[in-house]
Amino acid sequence: MTADTLKFLNTLAQNNEKGWMDDNRDWFLEVKEEFLEKTGELLNGLKHLDPGLESLMPKDCVFRQNRDMRFSPNKMPYKINMAAYFSRGSKKSIGPGYYLHVEPEGSFVGGGLYHPPAQLLKQVRQEIDYSGEELKRIMGEPDFKKRFGGLYGEKLKTSPRDYDLDHPHIDLLRYKSFEVITKISDQEIEKGNTVDIALDTFNKMQPYMDFLYRATDEAESGDGLL
């Protein structure tokens, strides 16, 4: 990812229509190819951290630029970001994964478990019920706190079903989504540091990801859920 990626996305945000995209197809393909290449570099490094991703190819991880407008009031045809999701079940997996999001003044890297379906959410809460102290130790590590702060996902205002308000891990059990993120500045992207920052971030996520893998029964098999 370079300054040209950000310039393209900035310009697309101001001209989000099919006619403009058709006129600038060559520019888009150049930026897309670069993003795919950098995704490949990132994936190769990530496979050393997480062997369960070994079967993935870069194209399995990168999202399409076209938006799905069928059920959205926003009828702009294209996303104004470029993103990749690295998961043992490919980018459509409902299981844990690593995420890269590139957008002018809004880039970030992180991962975890995004809005899991009911059964998966139940499994994670059960693991927190059993091993919440372990998760708190992971999140309390200085490097983890400095990089991520804490969990980013949506929370319930009360306790989830089957858990009391005075549960020792109620603060974690309230989460409906289990994500950690850290922002990347436009300056770092323009310097070409995105892959290095992402790999360092994913490395610091490993104990957290191992916890989620265990909770979602992916720890041993390395198989995706789809």
Question: pLDDT tens, 63-114?
Answer: 999 988 777 777 889 999 999 999 987 777 889 999 999 999 999 999 999 9
Question: What is the reported pLDDT for 226?
Answer: 27
Q: Find out whether 16 and 80 touch, Cβ atoms under 8 Å.
A: yes
158: helix, coil or strand?
Answer: coil
What's the mean pLDDT when you consider all of the chain?
91
Question: What is the reported pLDDT for 197?
Answer: 96
List beta partners, residue 102.
82
Tell me which DSSP letter residue 175 carries: B
Question: What is the reported pLDDT for 115?
Answer: 92
The average pLDDT across 204-214 equals: 96
Q: How confident is the model at residue 218 (pLDDT cuts 50, 70, 90)?
A: low
Q: Find out whether 224 and 61 touch, Cβ atoms under 8 Å.
A: no
The average pLDDT across 117-133 equals: 96
- pLDDT at residue 219 greater than cutoff 60: no
Return the structure tokens found at 119: 């059964």
Residues in CB range of 207: below 8 A, 6 or more apart = 138, 141, 144
Query: What are the residue boundaries of the structural domains of the chain, listed by start?
Result: 3-215
Q: Can you give the pTM of this predicted structure?
A: 0.90
Q: Find out whether 209 and 132 touch, Cβ atoms under 8 Å.
A: no
List beta partners, residue 183.
108
Burial of 140 (0-12, 13-18, 19+ CB in 10 A): exposed
- pLDDT at residue 222 greater than cutoff 50: no
Distance from C-alpha of 82 to C-alpha of 38, rounded to nearest angstrom = 12
Question: pLDDT tens, 34-67?
Answer: 999 999 999 999 999 999 999 999 999 999 999 8
**Sign of the alpha-carbon dihedral angle for 63, 65, 71, 73:** positive
> pLDDT: is 226 or 46 the higher one?
46
Q: How many Cβ atoms are within 10 Å of 70's Cβ, its own excluded?
A: 5
**What's the topology of domain 3-215?**
BirA Bifunctional Protein; domain 2 (3.30.930)
Phi, psi (5° rounding) for residue 99? -135, 135
